Amino acid sequence: MVNNIEIIAEIAQGYEGNEKLANLLTKGAIASNADAVKFQLVYADELATPDYEHYQLFKELEMAQSIWTDICKQIHDADRKVYFDVFGLLSLDVAKRIGADGVKLSTTEFYNNALFDRAIVQFDILYLSVGGIPIEDIDKKLSALSKEQVDKICLMYGFQSEPTPLDQNNLNKLSIFKNRYPNFRVGFMDHSDGALDDAYHLPLVAMGTGIHVIEKHITLDRELEIEDYISGVTPSEFIRFVSLVRRFESVLGVNSLVLTKQEQTYRNKATKSVVAICDLKAGDTLTLDSVALKRCSKPITKDSILEIEQALGKALNTDINIDSPIEKGDL
């Protein structure tokens, strides 16, 4: 079975610039049965000025390119995809060199046109965060794209407050994005409290809007309180989460109003059609005293008469026994 919804295990900054921790998280994400693993690829000097409050944290997140290359290999060897948040041309080029399958531009990079223009050329998969961006700016950016570019992009929405209170998720926006931009894939970034049942339920609700991607944080152990742990679930919890998504994915069914085989079978057996309520002879004119709408043992077909008005006042051309259906060819 091909999975319709891509599940991304989001490590983000949880590796804290530590090779050992990065490898442990990588192994946990692979074991979680997610389709892809994502990190934030951070280089402090393309993110902020030295006087910015989190500059030192960004500096501590930097790791050697060789470490990232090995992590990408581990993920690819496990038949998973690997993505990176990039924040400038340096991290974008590194992501390309180390073998990333795609990149994500956060809301903070939405207006970084040089980064977007190069990313859409270098990668076939581009996740574009649109939460917190005025709709007219989104319209302007997306309307200028070619079909080839549109096919590469997934619009990602989610309010990035960790943890995000339930009433601030605004999941209806996912439906709005899907309806307004029908040619784009749409994904949900979940930042609910990893310690609550909300961490499992909220993405399932989001699935009802027809999303294509779920991005969810993963952490080794919330008690360790490593970076981005608040919205994270552990690898064993992530396995449960993936199982729930796959189970309820089938509930969504087909994206069409055409009757399924099961619906058609039920309709054919349960729908009422015109039947005789007394023995009738050829030449008899049908009235409410001689016919009614009832279910009968014969399933309906294209020849069945489903609306009694289509039979009333018509003359039979054949004999019909009581409780037998009257079909179009009998009139």
pLDDT by residue, tens only, the chain of 331 residues: 446 899 999 999 999 999 999 999 999 999 999 999 999 999 999 999 999 999 999 999 999 999 999 999 999 999 999 999 999 999 999 999 999 999 999 999 999 999 999 999 999 999 999 999 999 999 999 999 999 999 999 999 998 777 888 888 899 999 999 999 999 999 999 998 888 898 999 999 999 999 999 999 999 988 877 777 788 899 999 999 999 999 998 888 777 889 989 999 999 999 999 999 999 999 999 999 999 999 999 999 999 999 999 999 999 999 999 999 999 999 9
Task: Please tell me what DSSP assigns to residue 197.
Answer: T
Q: Are 210 and 2 within 8 A, CB to CB?
A: no
Distances in whole angstroms, Cα of residue 196 to Cα of each of 75, 183, 191, 199, 226: 28, 34, 11, 6, 18
pTM reported for the whole predicted model: 0.86
Structure tokens at 104: 């994500």
Q: 192 with 198: CB under 8 angstroms?
A: yes
Q: Which two tokens stand for residue 207?
A: 């699935």
How far is Cα 306 from Cα 319, in angstroms, rounded to an integer?
A: 20
What's the pLDDT score for residue 195?
Answer: 87
* Cβ atoms within 10 Å of 235's Cβ, excluding its own: 22
Place of tokens 């349960």: 270
172: left (phi over 0), alpha (psi -120 to 50) or beta: alpha
| Bridge-based pairing state of the strands 291-294 and 273-276 | antiparallel
CB 248 within 8 A of CB 4: no
* Cis preceding linkage at 163, omega within 30: yes
> Scanning the structure block, which residue is given the tokens 């080794």?
220
Structure tokens at 151: 């096919």
Domains of the chain from N-terminus onward: 6-252 (3.20.20.70), 257-331 (3.90.1210.10)
What is d(CA 65, CA 72) in angstroms, rounded to the nearest whole number? Answer: 11
Structure tokens at 211: 């999303």
User: What's residue 1's pLDDT?
Assistant: 42
CA distances from 216 to 187, 210, 213, 239, 254 (A): 11, 17, 10, 12, 25
Crossing angle of the two packed helices 19-31 and 65-77, in degrees rounded to 10: 20
Asked whether the beta carbons of 118 and 86 are under 8 A apart, the reply is no
